């Protein structure tokens, strides 16, 4: 069986914003990168109508072979479907891809087949109750780099009413499950789902604060204007940076395991979190 060659660390520290571009609008890829997105995902699945998928693949191939190509991720259709196999054949013809997002992932074999056929890292999108139920087993898949999830699809499958307090509870439970499973299996921290209202900067910032505080690694974006909002929301405050700096400096100066900064006790967990913040 193939081994993963550092695929688990390629996306952890650098990729915070993942911007979707429909494969039918390849002309938008350059604009997507210009927006400052850390990663661009060309979508061959939901964003492309069945009758347009062949043309979309051809456009994607032409972009990959062009002089202006920049490494992109590709979202392929659900494993087992006819369109999935066509997508994989296309990926095999594009050796300079960054990786593959597998839509509606539900079993280990699907993830491993993508990796074995393309030799590319795989992000598994959890979009069904079955997929959510199987995340612990899928986390063992060779080639898996990280999890993300499609919340609207999950709500439809679970019969959860969106935009309700109940939906918020379910969303946080999903995040918790993905975060815990990813940590146990040494995957990159999961990537949060899309925020549908790309004109709601306040709501988007609040969402970013939520998932980043929970320990997720990044967010799927559907519009270029979301990229700057996400990055701004991820910036630590001056107060937080100042406190972290003083904690680390005092620890390195004194060597004490426990000490006081601004009336707060600083011990091993505080020192470690301060270092992590400064490293970011």
pLDDT at 247 over 60: yes
The pLDDT value given to residue 144: 96
Say what the pLDDT of residue 251 is: 84
The segment(s) of the chain belonging to CATH 3.20.20.60 are 17-234
Determine the angle formed by the axes of helices 108-118 and 82-92, rounding to 10 degrees.
Answer: 30
Give 13's pLDDT tier (boundaries 50, 70, 90): low
For residue 11, name the pLDDT band (cuts at 50, 70, 90).
low
Q: Global pTM?
A: 0.85
Confidence of residue 1 (pLDDT cuts 50, 70, 90): very low
pLDDT (average), residues 72-82:
96
Query: Which pLDDT score, from 0 to 100, does residue 242 have?
Result: 80
- Percent of all residues in the chain with a pLDDT value above 70, rounded to a whole number: 95
Mean pLDDT throughout 177-191? 96
The class (CATH top level) of 17-234 is alpha beta
Tokens of 12: 């952890």
Query: What's the average model confidence in pLDDT over 196-210?
Result: 95
Mean pLDDT on 44-67: 95
Q: Are 106 and 131 in contact (CB under 8 A)?
A: yes
Q: Which of 103, 98, 141 is nearest to 11 (CA)?
A: 98
The pLDDT value recorded for residue 221 is 97
Maximum Cα interatomic distance, the chain, rounded to a whole number of Å: 67
């Amino acid at each position: 069986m193939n081994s993963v060659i550092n695929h688990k660390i390629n996306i952890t520290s650098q990729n915070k914003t993942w911007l979707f571009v429909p494969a039918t609008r390849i002309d938008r890829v350059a604009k997507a990168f210009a927006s400052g997105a850390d990663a661009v995902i060309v979508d061959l699945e939901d964003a492309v109508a069945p009758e347009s998928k062949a043309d979309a693949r051809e456009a994607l191939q032409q972009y990959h072979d062009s002089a202006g190509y920049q490494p992109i991720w590709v979202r392929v259709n659900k494993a087992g479907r006819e369109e999935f196999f066509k997508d994989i054949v296309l990926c095999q013809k594009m050796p300079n891809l960054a990786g593959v997002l597998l839509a509606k992932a539900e079993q280990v074999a699907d993830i491993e087949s993508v990796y074995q056929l393309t030799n590319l890292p795989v992000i598994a999108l959890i979009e069904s109750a079955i997929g959510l139920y199987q995340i612990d087993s899928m986390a063992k898949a060779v080639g898996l780099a990280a999890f993300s999830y499609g919340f609207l699809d999950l709500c439809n499958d679970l019969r959860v009413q969106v935009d309700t307090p109940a939906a918020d509870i379910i969303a946080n439970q999903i995040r918790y499950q993905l975060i815990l499973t990813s940590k146990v299996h040494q995957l990159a921290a999961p990537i949060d789902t899309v925020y549908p209202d790309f004109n709601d900067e306040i709501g988007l910032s609040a969402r970013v604060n939520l998932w980043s505080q929970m320990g997720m690694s990044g967010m799927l974006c559907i519009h270029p204007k979301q990229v700057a909002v996400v990055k701004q929301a991820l910036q630590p405050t001056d107060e937080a940076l100042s406190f972290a700096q003083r904690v680390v400096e005092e620890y390195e100066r004194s060597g004490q395991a426990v000490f006081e900064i601004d009336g707060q006790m600083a011990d091993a967990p505080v020192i470690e979190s301060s270092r992590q913040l400064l490293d970011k």
